[in-house]
Structure 1
Amino acid sequence: MPAIIPDVSPLLLAMDLTGIFIFGLTGGTLAVRHRLDIFGVMVLALVTALAGGVLRDLLIGAIPPATMQDERYLITALASGLFAFFFHPFINRLVKPVMVLDAAGLGIFAVAGCGKALAYGLGPLPAVLLGVLTACGGGLVRDVLVAEVPRVLREEIYAVAALLGAAIVIAGAMLDLPKAPVAIAGAAAAFLLRVVSVLRGWSAPRAPGS
């Protein structure tokens, strides 16, 4: 696999910020649905948008985390919370808005998390695991805070979709393919698998007899 210097490329930064805004919308929208006040909406948006990335950065040694180094991360997360607070009626007109937004954020964060792990010199398997952690971490905290069973633990395919997106990034790096098309393909594949699995009722395998 080609060596990559530990630097955040413009592509990774753009994907991080896009994922933060989308995941922040899911947290804020869910908070509004649970009738939380503006403080609750902002808290849920922030933890949903930032928790996975912060944990990823701590594990790869990117300290302090990007969220604490670059104000754009916090500004983007706060903006997503405010957008959800004031424009939730518009967001709710979408079909299954939280699920669709969550699927989009899942794909973007899986790709960005895996890409950043590779940039910091991790091997393929740890990079995939960190991509999944980045994608699922914020959503897990969000669901716990509103007393819902986290989506990553439900029957619907969730972590598997993130795993697919991260695996495509690994394959692209091994084949030395252009990063931007690979990132788009990985995010799109994770998004499509997540959405199709919900619409068709697909689920991950369960233990025999369970």
Structure 2
Amino acid sequence: MRVTTLLATLLAGSAAIAASPSPRGLGPNLNAGNHYGAPTPPWGPGAHPGWYFGKHPEAHPGLTCLSGLICGILKLLPLGLQCPKTPPGTTPSTPSDGYTQTFSNLSGATQAGDYMTFGLVDTVADCKAMCNTVPGCGFVNTYHDVNGKNGSPLLTCSLFRNCHTAADATNTGGQTQPNGSVNHIANSDGWCKA
């Protein structure tokens, strides 16, 4: 009981420290059952990224930013999501990072039933680092959601259990945004984890 109370106190304090307003989904809703804060897949109406992993967490106050104090708290909680060990924006030092590219530069993103979660990243390497921390992740799809994500220039990083090909890149956008613009997908790349 004391551990639960301590964790609840830490979560409340970390949310206030990490961002203002407090990040969405930190706590019991940031788990596999809730798709790590992104229960609606990116092709669904009202979809919203569940997290951000990159060098500029201060620029994303509405998302759970996987850095700093949040990482320490996630280590204490059995949620299944952890902060990547690779610092954001870095590339692996070996020629092979354990991923094989299955498609590149498409105008459609993967849409499949084995969807796990999606968030925002600065680089493809950051998305792969996220996949490496999510149990069961076997495929990443990075792309630009043009006019989506409130105009953010960041990459969308979608994680899936199974490998996918260009045949599954059927999400071409088309969702009307709050400002009246319509989103579309650009520079979509797929990476299968070995």
When the two structures are superposed, what TM-score results if normalisation uses the length of structure 1?
0.25
The structure showing larger relative contact order (alpha-carbon pairs under 8 Å, at least 6 residues apart) is: 1
If each structure's helix is expressed as a fraction of its own residues, which one has the higher value? 1
If each structure's strand is expressed as a fraction of its own residues, which one has the higher value? 2
